[in-house]
Amino acid sequence: MPHSHAETAPLPHTLEHSRTRPVHWLATATAMAAVIAAAGLVQPATGTPATDTTASTVETPAKGPQATAPDPAGVTYPLDCKGAPQTVTTSAQGDLDGDGRPETVAAVRCDAGSGTPPHAIYVLTRDRAGGADPRVVATLLDTARRQTATELTVRDGLVTATLVGYSSPDVPRYSPDTKQLAKWRWRDGKFRQELTDSAARSV
């Protein structure tokens, strides 16, 4: 921002004496110095505040483009669907390992056309080099547990999923009777499941 200059005060009228004594010059110079100093400090109420040109300017570093989370669509998951297509029913994004780059957590199941196939939950990441396709780096839930993910969130590095399942093989597949709140967090180089509410309960 340019420096705002105050207007210079008008010069005092010339004295009528044709010959000025030194003491008069001294008094005049002192008065002029006081007026100019005051003009430099006082700014109009609507003007721009004076800028201290001796102060260093701190620039805010430019931020680069935000890293994008991997797209779960189009990824081939390690899920055996016996020839049926794979379906991503829900996903969530967030930085899970604290490196500043978001990961994607995807709930995937086989599109069997009938019934309620169980879910698997996978973690996807993208290489720093860029241009590479997203890849699966972890399995949080395997289909062998015969559970279905109804909710999936990522917040503050914590993956939370609401899982419904069956208390026994006799329970119809269309009527799950247990519910579990499962949580996973990246710790010590791997995803560890939180113990909070780890037991399934009846619904």
pLDDT digits (tens, 9 = 90+) for 178-200: 999 999 999 999 999 986 554 55
Please answer whether residues 155 and 94 qualify as being in contact, where contact means their C-beta atoms are separated by less than 8 angstroms. Answer: yes
Rama region for 144: left / alpha / beta (φ>0; ψ in -120 to 50; rest)? alpha
Q: In this model, does residue 122 exceed pLDDT 50? A: yes
pLDDT band for position 203 (cuts 50, 70, 90): low
The pLDDT assigned to 22 comes to 45
The pLDDT assigned to 187 comes to 93
The pLDDT assigned to 104 comes to 98
The pLDDT assigned to 96 comes to 97
Task: Look up the pTM and report it.
Answer: 0.64
Residues of the chain with pLDDT > 90, as a percent, come to: 50
